[in-house]
Structure 1
Amino acid sequence: MSRVISAVGGGETLLPVVSALVLVLVAASVLGALQSFVLQRAAEGVVLTTRRALADRLLRLPVAEYDRRRTGDLMSRVGADTTLLRATVTSGIVEVAGSAVVGVGALVAMAIVDPWLLLVTVAAVSVGLAVAVTTSRRVRRLSRQAQEEVGAMSAAVERALSAVRTIRASGATAREVEVVDASATRAYRAGVAVARLQALVQPAGSIAVQGAFLAVLGLGGYRVASGSIAVGDLVAFVLYLFLLVMPLGQAISAYTQLQTGLGALARIQEVLALEPEDDARPERGGVVVTVPRVPPAGTPLLELDEVSFAYPDGTPVLDRVSLTVPAGSRVALVGPSGAGKSTVLALVEGFYPLTGGAIRWAGTDVRDLPRAALRGRLGYVEQEAPVLAGTIRENLLLAAPTASDDELWAVLADVGLTGVVQRSPRGLDVAVGDDGVLLSGGERQRLAIARSLLARPALLLLDEPTASLDARNEELLRRTLAAAAADRALLVVAHRLSTVVDSDLIVVLDGGRVLASGTHDELLDASPLYRELATAQLLV
């Protein structure tokens, strides 16, 4: 532009310099569009990579971590927090870096044109820049607080939706709405606090820019009048000033955005820093030991040797529990609620570390075996019998992905679910709804048992397998389990003693301790607690 002005004043031809100017503008537009696409693509790549890493880590965390954390907050980190990273990449890091490069170039050019005008510019801009940077530093802390509140709100919504039927039936809808509203309000206030700080940044930058322009025009006009610089040089300097302050304003805004992204990044890194379970390695590390073959029937398959367990806060759950499950046998755990029966199954699965004692699989401590290999020998049906959203087929194939349709139909017949599947024209592809809501409680339980049977485990762990079954289906399941026990061992937790009266061994737990063990008839004579339970259930 300085050359254009000089050419006009000197009567020179304008074609070369104007052509160069047009070429520069066109090239800048093309590069700007390319930059926008590359940045957006890079941002989506960052978000994809982060979400993959988070999802992988979240699904591999020790079970104890899920007990300590709220599901909704963990979901917020995968969704809302990773979304903030996109803005950080597109208008944060690159804008700051790009503005720095352009700013340095502009400063060098301004120094060449007129050092005195540059000195005035730097003085005016530095004041606004210092205020903006100081303010932006507080944004990171407040932004993380805002994201924590968003996570808490997501957790509140997830809590309400997961129990929406119970909430409606209890007439608690309005109260739950108030809980979610209060959480949303806290998130709003935290967001407003961030916005308030961010709003201070723009005026500080604007005042600095306007001050710089006024100072340059005032001093520059004086220097032109005194003949120190030419008009073309002053115009060039002003355009360089535009080149400096416009990216500078973007950089200040981007720096604030970067602080917001770093707040979200801290929440993401908090999860990524958690140690995951390594399914391919033993719990205690060291050399990987091959999982022993299933021993002959009647010899010990699973042994609990003086097993103790307590929660992290020190609350005791199990106290020196010992029992043996021979291969091909049926062993039952009975006792009042809170006795520690379900905890025994969780420890066998390796969901929690032992406080004391040892659990052995065919004579080998399970802490020396790869978790994945050991769990491949176990079938586990939880008390809640969770069913995943999807179809009957997808739920069955969860533990046995290569099973054929004939095998699926056979296992459904074993648990009495054939009629449930046949009543829909979609057959095995009938939807079960979110958490299996389209199935009854008994159907969900039988589907979970079928899923475990299909994997053909050497040891089947059942936690209250008949809790949601009527008498007819309970008898069907008893026959199924009796047939299943012919080639595998069963460890069953039961409140309804009618399910386990014919077990090879019944272990009575109370207060985390083994009070007695034996057959049904033996325990009626030897265990007052068992006799009390049997009497209450009309088995005596």
Structure 2
Amino acid sequence: MAAAAALAQPALVARVIRVVGSGDPLLPAVAVLVVVLLLASALSAFQQFLLQRTGEGVVLTTRQLLADRLLRLPVAEYDRRRTGDLMSRVGADTTLLRATVTSGVVDVVGSVVLAVGAVIAMALVDGWLLLLTVASVAVGVTTAVLASRGVRRLSRQAQEQVGAMTAAVERALSAVRTIRASGATAREVESVGASAAGAYAAGVRVARLEALVSPAGSIAVQGAFLAVLGVGGYRVASGSITVAELVAFILYLFLLVMPLGQAIGAWTQLQTGLGALARIQEILALEPEDDAHPERPAAAAVPPSGAPLLRLEDVSFGYPDGTQVLSDVSFEVPAGSRVALVGPSGAGKSTILALIEGFYPVSGGVLRWAGTDVREMPRAALRARLGYVEQEAPVLAGTVRDNLLLTRPDATDPELWAVLADVGLTDVVRRSPRGLDVLVGDEGVLLSGGERQRLAIARALLARPELLLLDEPTASLDARNEGLLRDTLAAASADRALLVVAHRLSTVLDSDQIVVLDQGRVVARGTHGELVDSSALYRELATAQLLV
């Protein structure tokens, strides 16, 4: 509709000129021209709004798709990729995509419609002038298209450099206290600056190539206008066309070259956006973690106390680079029991917990839950029966309530206070008048290391898991809170099984079974007393901690 209103204007101007020459009443012709001008302006404004809204809608949908995919990727993908680069794809790349929609695809389509209409109208006015115009414009368009061929490749390189810069900033901010304490601030600033310089250099390469497009379009427009003005003046003088027809033709010429200039710029913008789109599609093409299989059986019911709840049968695991972490690991966790994994650093203890949670697929052997191979169970069904506290005990930015409700959104305030009391955090939370709504800071920075550890344990306990996985639960606790936590875990094990990774053997002395690992293999199993007598490695560990 906007194109039709624009194409009508030159014909109406020519009509006004003819009316002036004939002496007929001028007002009706001018009134129609004014109405068409106002209609074209209104349509242009509405079109701009639709374009912007469409662009925002595309960005919204893309960001939602990216966020969904990023949060569902296999854990191994996060090991291979930098967080900052993933964040850049959600932010900077999707912003470029908006420009592609608003200034790229739709502008190209609209410009083509207007240009085709202008060419048809120019052909009706004077065919010779049209041929002259097409020849002049074709040179500029061809040059511009050839110049923009490399924009997509260079644009993707520029966005990758932006991703690298974002990753460098994220790395520095996540460890800003360590960097300050290490006197490394200047070096990190230099490193981030070098990444920014790389992004700048890549952006300049894109700008240099895009700069070739604009002059080509300008030369084509000016050349076409001068040629039409000269030849058209000659044809008017010879009587081949009238002044009104020449004026109409020149106006149609502007309607042709203006959208062509927009189309050339839009084409360049489109190439830039396609570079960003390729980075977005790279993430969307990754397979998400396979956690929704309605056709697979759900997890079996919890067996009676003492019966095997979790069993590892000759489990092996290695990374894709060939590094072998576990070899033929076998043990079981009976329902209602406490089992501990101990051994030197790097023995594979934390990796076993990651395999149980399904973060990585086992390379060999079988993991069974209540007799069922976990590969035949939906991950969501299995994880609903597990509680997991990582060694770093991550705390999310927000409040204490937000962190606790992560595992059980329907938990009541009395339940929240009860689980806080179980881990000795009640007094800590009551220090603030905000209570459960006290802020914990980014990554729990407003809490001590021990408080973060206990909050993470409280979060896991609130979910009432059938098996609680604890990776170094007392790593950040003092002697008093360690004793309190031992009492809590003892009470918790009355109605659930516990699998605890521990370097501090004092926390697992009363375990029903202690599994000793060394270099990815089980080298001994038994109670504390049995292992002191039978395992040289365990006896060495216990002696070093003054437990024998």
Shorter chain as normaliser: what TM range?
over 0.9
The separation in 1 between residues aligned to 2:216 and 2:466, in whole angstroms, is: 71
Are 2:45 and 1:33 equivalent residues in the alignment? yes
**Residue of structure 1 equivalent to 2:547:** 539
Choose the corresponding residue for 1:378, options 386, 393, 396. 386
**Residue of structure 2 equivalent to 1:388:** 396
Post-superposition Cα deviations, 1:332-355, rounded to whole Å, max 9, x if no partner, equal 000000000000000000000110
Post-superposition Cα deviations, 1:320-368, rounded to whole Å, max 9, x if no partner, equal 1001000000000000000000000000000001100010000000010
Question: RMSD in angstroms over aligned alpha carbons?
Answer: 0.8
**Residue of structure 2 equivalent to 1:307:** 315
Q: SS of 1:312's equivalent?
A: coil
**Residue of structure 2 equivalent to 1:423:** 431
Are 2:189 and 1:195 equivalent residues in the alignment? no
The separation in 1 between residues aligned to 2:32 and 2:274, in whole angstroms, is: 42
Q: For residue 474 of structure 2, what is the amino acid of its counterpart?
A: T
**Residue of structure 2 equivalent to 1:7:** 19
TM-aligned CA deviation for residue 510 of structure 1: 0.7
Choose the corresponding residue for 1:49, options 57, 61, 75. 61
**Residue of structure 2 equivalent to 1:158:** 170
Post-superposition Cα deviations, 1:169-201, rounded to whole Å, max 9, x if no partner, equal 000000000000000000011111111111111
Counterparts of 1:102-501 in structure 2, within 5 Å, are 102-281=114-293, 287-501=295-509
Post-superposition Cα deviations, 1:477-520, rounded to whole Å, max 9, x if no partner, equal 00100110000000000000001111000001011000111010
Q: SS of 1:328's equivalent?
A: coil
TM-aligned CA deviation for residue 229 of structure 1: 1.1
Q: SS of 2:148's equivalent?
A: helix
The separation in 2 between residues aligned to 1:123 and 1:106, in whole angstroms, is: 15
TM-aligned CA deviation for residue 291 of structure 1: 1.0
TM-aligned CA deviation for residue 281 of structure 1: 1.9
The separation in 2 between residues aligned to 1:515 and 1:277, in whole angstroms, is: 33
The separation in 2 between residues aligned to 1:10 and 1:85, in whole angstroms, is: 54
TM-score normalised by L of structure 1: 0.98
The separation in 2 between residues aligned to 1:135 and 1:521, in whole angstroms, is: 79
TM-aligned CA deviation for residue 452 of structure 1: 0.4
Q: SS of 1:482's equivalent?
A: helix
The separation in 2 between residues aligned to 1:237 and 1:12, in whole angstroms, is: 23
**Residue of structure 2 equivalent to 1:95:** 107
**Residue of structure 2 equivalent to 1:65:** 77
Post-superposition Cα deviations, 1:274-315, rounded to whole Å, max 9, x if no partner, equal 101132228xxxx31021000000000000000000001111
Give the stretch that moved more between structures: 460-469 or 84-93: 84-93
Post-superposition Cα deviations, 1:386-412, rounded to whole Å, max 9, x if no partner, equal 000000111011001111111111111
What count of residue pairs does the alignment treat as equivalent? 536
Gap regions ≥5 residues in structure 1: none
Q: SS of 1:535's equivalent?
A: helix
The separation in 2 between residues aligned to 1:339 and 1:369, in whole angstroms, is: 28
Give the stretch that moved more between structures: 296-305 or 133-142: 133-142
TM-aligned CA deviation for residue 11 of structure 1: 1.4
TM-aligned CA deviation for residue 134 of structure 1: 1.1
TM-aligned CA deviation for residue 5 of structure 1: 1.2
Q: SS of 1:60's equivalent?
A: coil
The separation in 2 between residues aligned to 1:3 and 1:45, in whole angstroms, is: 43
Q: SS of 2:313's equivalent?
A: strand
TM-aligned CA deviation for residue 218 of structure 1: 1.3
Q: SS of 1:516's equivalent?
A: strand
**Residue of structure 1 equivalent to 2:87:** 75
Give the stretch that moved more between structures: 11-20 or 417-426: 11-20
The separation in 2 between residues aligned to 1:17 and 1:64, in whole angstroms, is: 72
The separation in 2 between residues aligned to 1:15 and 1:254, in whole angstroms, is: 40
**Residue of structure 1 equivalent to 2:527:** 519
Q: SS of 1:385's equivalent?
A: coil
TM-score normalised by L of structure 2: 0.97
Give identity over the alignment, percent: 79
Q: SS of 1:87's equivalent?
A: helix
**Residue of structure 2 equivalent to 1:529:** 537
Post-superposition Cα deviations, 1:246-274, rounded to whole Å, max 9, x if no partner, equal 11111111111111111111111110111
Q: For residue 472 of structure 1, what is the amino acid of its counterpart?
A: R
**Residue of structure 1 equivalent to 2:4:** none
The separation in 1 between residues aligned to 2:147 and 2:162, in whole angstroms, is: 23
Q: SS of 2:447's equivalent?
A: coil
**Residue of structure 1 equivalent to 2:5:** none
Q: Which runs of 4 or more aligned residues in structure 1 lie more than 4 Å from their structure 2 counterparts after TM superposition?
A: none
The separation in 2 between residues aligned to 1:245 and 1:455, in whole angstroms, is: 66
TM-aligned CA deviation for residue 93 of structure 1: 0.7
The separation in 2 between residues aligned to 1:82 and 1:217, in whole angstroms, is: 45
The separation in 2 between residues aligned to 1:513 and 1:392, in whole angstroms, is: 39
TM-aligned CA deviation for residue 27 of structure 1: 0.1
